[in-house]
Structure 1
Amino acid sequence: MAAGSFAAPPETTAWSRLMVNRNWLGFWFMVPTMIFLLLFLAWPLVLGMWMSMTDMRIGRGGVFIGLENYQFLLDDRDFINATVFTLVYTAVASVVKFAVGLYLAILLNNHMPFKAFIRAIVLIPFIVPTVLSAVAFWWIFDTQFSIFTWLLQKAGILDKGQYINWLGDPFLAQCSVIFANIWRGIPFIAITLLAGLQTVSPSLYEAATLDGASGWQRFRFVTYPLLTPIIAVVMTFSVLFTFTDFQLIWAMTRGGPVNATQLMATLSYQRGILGGRLGEGAAIATAMVPFLLAAIMVSWFGLQRRKWQQGESND
């Protein structure tokens, strides 16, 4: 063959190599999502933080006032009470949801008749719209027509004609909204943990049983370690969703009575939108960010400290 019969390989530029590089391929696929997050999450967050340092009101542009809104909130009893109740609401609801959800997941992972039907029933509280659930609980906890009051009367605990003001008493109202949040959140945790349980090999349980492990020991040394990454993720989402809850509280109590069930999210809406003080409302919303970041960081550092997460062997 002639010396010039072979075609010279095309020249590759740095850009063409970057386009096909496997390390960069995932980045290119993430670019649309990154743009979406920047436009609809990062930018509103930055704008809200800027508004929190102004005296902006609805219909009137504000001027920069620095940290005055935050200084005012530190002396605002309603804000302090809302912050405390938000933490209590999140802690109690998240712990109970995890305990009941884990129990249901283990129960549904066993062989039982009509298991698929029962799993579908368990999902109902999660797929029902939040406002519809809130209206149902508003009726359940109604002073006159409450099903709980009726059961207590039938059990002889309450006299006929005696009623409990579930949503009118501050403490009972707080318990009622926490109960409603638990009812809605259990299916999410149960189904997610059930999916994790089904990835655990039955041979591990068989080996543990042959070694004489009890039911608790099988859970402690087999189930729990393998479910830890899923538990960390699902509890992070549960804490975030519970801490920022708005629809359930607003539809049931509007933050009442006397602001007893006011969360930081509902107080922010009440001050910023209904009250027209956008700067103050934005400051309350921004004050939620450190708590949310703390929840994410606890989960992230917890996962990073586990040796199996880093690909190390347990010596």
Structure 2
Amino acid sequence: MLAPPVLYLAAFVAYPFFYGVYLSLESRPVGRPGVFVGLRNFALDLSDPVFWQVARNTFTYTIVATLLKAAGGLALALVMNQQFRLKNAVRASLLLPFIVPTVLSTVAWMWIFDPTFSVINWVLVHAARLHAVPSWLGNPSLAMASIIFVNTWRGLPFYAITLLAGLQTIPPDLYEAAAIDGAGPRQRFSYVTFPLLRPVLIIVTMFSVIFTFSDFQLVYVLTGGGPANATHLFATYAFNIAMGGGQLGLGASVALAMFPALLLLIMGLTLYLRKE
């Protein structure tokens, strides 16, 4: 019974990971045999200012997007938990950003942010009467804000549906007892809803951090890491070095730099969850 999942993990998780570790210890240009260099690739990473810019980008992207998804997803879950007409249709439509393939939805957003054909810029020109419209993907600050917005838009359904499932496990008797004791909506949320929903929120945050920290498709399609490395994350920067620059060993060392940071973050969330 355990053989199929063990073989799957060995083939698609363990082997790529350990092969990546092996590559990171070599100087391996594409088409040439590798030469063992030990930790030199990691030393090159640590001395590269672009690497530290990528690290800042990755943490900024992950933290801001996760906080926005958590707040927005919780708000949507609370709304979806109410009784209103067409509730099932609204819940189904809520899943659309999550089930549409990432590349397809990102290409649509690329057109939305396009400096010439942008719907947003058209509205700003004709409704707000602006003469100078922003370059959403050409300005470093706006480019980072844009990819965070798209990631938040795409990840909100995952948060909302998961938290909605958690909300529906809370016994209604607790709300009735709190209302009898004179608790208002804010007190019921603070002392009933949020404490009981916190374990679910931590788990969904853990998954969101993993997916966001290692995001590749959205950033690669939307900006390719530009402008001037302003939106490069560890995943896109590692791909750019390994595939674009032909330095497989150096690219593998950048990719492995994600592992300790992500491991510490997940361990912290896990310990907090056990404590709760």
Give the TM-score normalised by structure 1. 0.85
Alignment of 1:57-136 (within 5 A): 57-136=29-108
Counterparts of 2:196 and 2:6, CA distance in 1: 31
2:143 pairs, out of 167, 173, 177, with: 173
Counterparts of 1:144 and 1:275, CA distance in 2: 31
Alignment of 1:1-315 (within 5 A): 29-159=1-131, 162-306=132-276
Q: Work out which of the two has the higher radius of gyration on C-alpha atoms and give 1 or 2.
A: 1
Counterpart in the other structure of 1:312:
none
Query: Aligned letter for 2:10?
Result: L
Q: CA deviation at 1:155?
A: 3.2
Query: Aligned letter for 2:111?
Result: W
Count how many residue pairs are aligned between Structure 1 and Structure 2: 276
Counterparts of 2:86 and 2:109, CA distance in 1: 28
For the residue of structure 1 that corresponds to 2:170, the secondary structure is: coil
Query: Aligned letter for 1:203?
Result: D
* 1:159-191 alpha-carbon deviations (Å, 9 max, x no partner): 3xx332111111111111111111100001000
Aligned residues of 2:124 and 2:133 also touching (Cα < 8 A):
no
Counterparts of 2:105 and 2:88, CA distance in 1: 24
Counterparts of 1:129 and 1:167, CA distance in 2: 21
Query: Aligned letter for 2:63?
Result: A
Counterparts of 2:64 and 2:141, CA distance in 1: 14
| Structure 2, gaps ≥5 residues long | none
For the residue of structure 2 that corresponds to 1:110, the secondary structure is: coil
Give the TM-score normalised by structure 2. 0.97
Aligned residues: CA RMSD: 1.2
Q: CA deviation at 1:157?
A: 4.8
Aligned residues of 1:271 and 1:281 also touching (Cα < 8 A):
yes
Aligned residues of 2:97 and 2:157 also touching (Cα < 8 A):
yes
For the residue of structure 2 that corresponds to 1:41, the secondary structure is: helix
Counterparts of 2:254 and 2:262, CA distance in 1: 13
Q: CA deviation at 1:209?
A: 0.7
Aligned residues of 1:141 and 1:148 also touching (Cα < 8 A):
yes
* 1:203-225 alpha-carbon deviations (Å, 9 max, x no partner): 11111111111212111211112
Q: CA deviation at 1:260?
A: 0.9
Aligned residues of 1:56 and 1:278 also touching (Cα < 8 A):
yes
Point out which structure has higher relative CO (alpha carbons under 8 A, 6+ apart). Answer: 2
Q: CA deviation at 1:31?
A: 4.2
Counterparts of 1:200 and 1:109, CA distance in 2: 11
Counterparts of 2:260 and 2:274, CA distance in 1: 21
Aligned residues of 1:144 and 1:163 also touching (Cα < 8 A):
no
Q: CA deviation at 1:154?
A: 2.9
| Structure 1, gaps ≥5 residues long | 1-28, 307-315
For the residue of structure 1 that corresponds to 2:95, the secondary structure is: helix
Counterparts of 1:292 and 1:123, CA distance in 2: 27
